[in-house]
Amino acid sequence: MKIEQIYTGCLSQGAYYIESEGEVAIIDPLREIQNYLDRADEANATIKYIFETHFHADFVSGHLTLSKRTGAPIIYGPLANPSFEAIIAEDGQTFQLGKVSITVMHTPGHTMESTTYLLKDENGEDYAIFSGDTLFLGDVGRPDLAQKAANMTQEDLAGLLFESLREKIMPLRDEVTVYPAHGAGSACGKNMMKITVDTLGNQKKMNYALRADMTKEEFIKEVTDGLTPPPQYFPLNVKLNKEGYEDIEDIIERGARGLSPEEFELAANETGAIVLDVRHQDEFVKGHIPQSIFIGIDGGFAPWVGALIADVQQSILLIAPEGRVEEAITRLSRVGFDQTIGYLEGGFDSWKKSGKQIDSIISISAEEFKDRLSTGDIPVFDVRKEGEYLTSHLKQAFLTPLDYLNNHLAEFPQEETFYMHCAGGYRSVIAASILKSRGIHNLVEIAGGFDAMKEAGIPVTDEVCPSTLKK
């Protein structure tokens, strides 16, 4: 038996390859499927099953394309209602894979169709669970993503999750390995550990949601406390996963169309496409196309696109580093953004050489910002997450999280120069690009962000645990 976790860091997502006696099962595949096909080919094995733990909200799964290419059936747990052909398994149903087996455990709560798959070894012993978004390491799946679809409150779902964990998962032996669908950084939970594999026994010790003496009421309160609104693109991804989508090869072919500066400008004007610049933030600061949006490919690219652009049907024109156009299109498609319609051939250099208008962002070092602070009270905006801000922040800084920047537009000065920062410079440049695209140009970005300001000796509040402040 072979189990391989195929972890994609930018999505904090784990897909799984399980092989026994030349037969393979894939659990929660990403949209680009060649990786799984290559592994099976190298092992001279056949992909027999494609298991989905639930209808994913934060990424588009590769289940449909993989099934089309291999003929393997797609398997969901009870209550799933996809628009395409699939096996809707019963609770307790078993699927044989070589000398091992996979048993369906219906574990509703994150969503109503959420299912955990129990892998038993060749001796019939419980070996591992693939818990999807039901059980994370250090946390459980948020119970608010299916409220509208299931016509239930998040408290109702949390109550079901409590029962699923205690009736299906916690009775398993401590030695069972837990393979979750996500790790730290995913918006599907709030307190996930950085490790991506653990034993159930250790999770019973470390995971607040698995406390043996916890009442249902306590569980509901703790699981629902502090939930921020889910990103707007989540329901759109669920729709794609339930109803179907284009093959990624077609999306790449459409998007990887090189355009001259003149063609690029014409396409932007005629289609209303967002001009998305995915270069490094330092390059964007120095020069960019006016009104373009920066979301760098080397940061949390796809989740930030989903959170800030939101509409997966929005047309996109790309400015990408040389050799990374296809990568950018692929990573956009992972979160359902399939409407890339072209890219600027020759990159930003070709735009500059064409003599067309360019823009830039004023950026200063933390040391220079320290000098400016000494001259008087100046407006500063912190675009980090609330938890980061509560832990420690610049004493005079206002919190305007990047995730909800649109809700804070009225707070930025209309004429007075103001300053922006994040932790290291990535998110503040995203924020600056969004504000400039809306006609707000009286801003200065602080290079290196909060980390650089602390190193420069700028006074910040004492570090505290955010959860302590909320009690």
Overall number of domains in the chain:
3
* Mean per-residue pLDDT, 355-374: 96
Q: Do 1 and 19 meet the contact criterion of CB atoms below 8 Å apart?
A: yes
Last residue of a domain, one of 178, 206, 235: 235
CA distance 120 to 127: 5
Domain co-membership, 54 together with 162: yes
Same domain, residue pair 130 and 69: yes
Task: Indicate whether 374 pLDDT > 80.
Answer: yes
Assign 231 a pLDDT band (cuts: 50, 70, 90): confident
Confidence class of residue 151 from pLDDT cuts 50, 70 and 90?
confident
Reply yes or no on whether the pLDDT at 43 is more than 90. Answer: yes
pLDDT at 465: 63
Tokens for 273, please give them: 């496409």
Residue 357 pLDDT > 50 = yes
pLDDT band at 466 (very low <50, low <70, confident <90, very high): low
Q: Do 86 and 133 have their domain in common?
A: yes
State the pLDDT at residue 471: 42
User: What average pLDDT does this structure show over 328-345?
Assistant: 97
Q: Which two tokens stand for residue 390?
A: 């509560």
For Cα atoms 53, 54, 60, give the angle at the middle one, nearest 5 degrees: 105
Residue 28 pLDDT grade (very low, low, confident, very high; cuts 50, 70, 90):
very high
- Given a cut of 90, whether residue 190 has pLDDT beyond it is no
**3-state DSSP assignment of residue 370:** helix
**Residue 228 pLDDT:** 81
Q: pLDDT at position 150, please? A: 55
- 98-102, 217-221, 426-430, 467-471: the lowest-pLDDT one: 467-471
Mean pLDDT of 236-253: 95
Give strand ranges (E) for 315-364.
316-319, 340-344, 363-364
Beta bridge partners of 382: 399, 421
Domain contains 142:
yes
Please check whether residues 316 and 431 belong to one and the same domain.
no
Above 50 in pLDDT, residue 470? Answer: no
Residues 74 and 223 in one domain: yes
Three-state DSSP at 230 gives: coil
Q: Is residue 358 part of a domain?
A: no
Q: Among 328, 353, 378, where does a domain finish?
A: 353
Amino acid at 67: S
User: What average pLDDT does range 49-74 have in this prediction?
Assistant: 97
Q: Could you tell me if residue 241 is inside a domain?
A: no
CATH classification of the domain holding 271: 3.40.250.10
Place of tokens 């302590």: 468
**Angle of the 325-334 helix axis to the 248-255 helix axis, nearest 10:** 130
pLDDT-derived band at 301 (thresholds 50, 70, 90) equals: very high
What is the DSSP track for 257-325?
Answer: -EE-HHHHHHHHHHH--EEEE-S-HHHHHH-B-TT-EE--TTSSHHHHHHHHH--TT--EEEE--TT-H
Tokens 């699927």, residue located: 95
CA 361, 366, 371, 377 torsion-angle sign: positive
CA–CA gap between residue 415 and residue 81 (Å, rounded): 53
Q: What is the mean pLDDT of residues 455-466?
A: 85
φ and ψ of 29, to 5 deg: -70, 150
Task: Report the C-alpha gap between 51 and 105 in whole angstroms.
Answer: 12
Residues 88 and 141 in one domain: yes
Q: Percentage of the chain with pLDDT > 70?
A: 97
Are both 342 and 382 inside the same structural domain? no
Give the pLDDT band of residue 5 (cuts 50, 70, 90): very high
How far is it, in rounded angstroms, from Cα 405 to Cα 308? 9
Q: Is residue 373 domain-shared with residue 314, that is, in the same domain?
A: no
The whole-number pLDDT of residue 376 equals 81
In the predicted structure, residue 421 carries a pLDDT above the cut 80: yes
Give percent of the chain with pLDDT exceeding 90.
Answer: 88
pLDDT given for residue 147 in this prediction: 53
Q: Which domain holds residue 314?
A: 246-353
Q: Is residue 123 part of a domain?
A: yes
Query: Is 32 among the domain residues?
Result: yes
Report the CATH number that the domain containing residue 80 is assigned in CATH: 3.60.15.10
Q: Tell me what pLDDT residue 188 has.
A: 79
Among 335, 353, 371, where does a domain finish? 353
In this structure, is residue 337 part of a structural domain? yes
212 in a domain, yes or no? yes
* CB-CB contact of 28 with 3 (8 Å): no
Name the residue among 315, 306, 295, 292 with its Cα closest to residue 334: 306
268/399 same-domain check:
no
Same domain, 224 and 338: no
pLDDT at 187: 79
Query: In this model, does residue 164 exceed pLDDT 50?
Result: yes
Same domain, 414 and 302: no
Instruction: Note the pLDDT of residue 191.
Output: 76
| 201 has a pLDDT exceeding 50 | yes
Assess if residue 348 is contained within a domain.
yes
- For residues 41 and 149, state if they share a domain: yes
CB contact at 8 A, 386 and 229: no
